[in-house]
Amino acid sequence: MEIKRIEEVNDTIGEFINKEFSDYARQNEVTLNYDEFNFVAEDDDGTILGVITGRTTYNEVHIVDLIVNHECRRGGVGSKLVAAVEEAYKGKGYSKITLTTFGFQAPGFYRKQGYELEFVREDKDPKLSKYFFAKHI
């Protein structure tokens, strides 16, 4: 056996991942519900103000990244992007939205959005402590 790092997932590897992941879920009698999502906020001239990305698996929606242009922060862009995800997946068989954020990023922001802190993985540097949040939908 040889282990090698790859830069991109090609079609063959992607098909392997999808088949094995799906088969294992079926064997365990759970619905996969897999979906990747990307929402973008743009102004009238098409300038990107922010992006939110993530994926769904089983009964959970997971926000991977929320990135807002530094000039637009505290202007409601992030809140609207989070709301777009919540609205898109509400009533579609998902029970919660989860996410992680670091101490220097946005724990307070997510609390204001109604997310509940599940736990914190403390780090020597508090800015790098990792916060785990969830919100039931």
Using alpha carbons only, what angle is made at residue 20 by residues 55 and 88, rounded to the nearest 5 degrees? 20
The verdict on residue 35 lying in a domain is yes
The verdict on residue 21 lying in a domain is no
The verdict on residue 124 lying in a domain is yes
Task: Give Rg (Cα) of the chain.
Answer: 17
Q: Which domain holds residue 89?
A: 31-136
State the amino acid at position 24 in one-letter form.
Answer: Y
Using alpha carbons, select from 101, 55, 61, 103 the residue that is nearest to residue 78.
Answer: 101
**Residue range 91-108: average pLDDT?**
96
Segment holding 80, helix H or strand E: helix 77-89
**Quick one: pLDDT at residue 74?**
86
Which CATH number is 42's domain given? 3.40.630.30
The verdict on residue 6 lying in a domain is no
The verdict on residue 57 lying in a domain is yes
Domain count, the chain: 1
The model's pTM is: 0.88
Asked if residue 9 has pLDDT above 90, the reply is: no
Structure confidence by residue, pLDDT tens digits, 14-73: 899 889 989 999 999 998 888 999 999 999 999 999 999 999 999 999 999 999 999 888
Cα–Cα distance for residue pair 132/118, rounded to 1 Å: 6
What is the β-pairing status of strands 116-121 and 96-102? unpaired
The verdict on residue 8 lying in a domain is no
The verdict on residue 18 lying in a domain is no
What is the β-pairing status of strands 35-42 and 60-68? unpaired
The verdict on residue 89 lying in a domain is yes
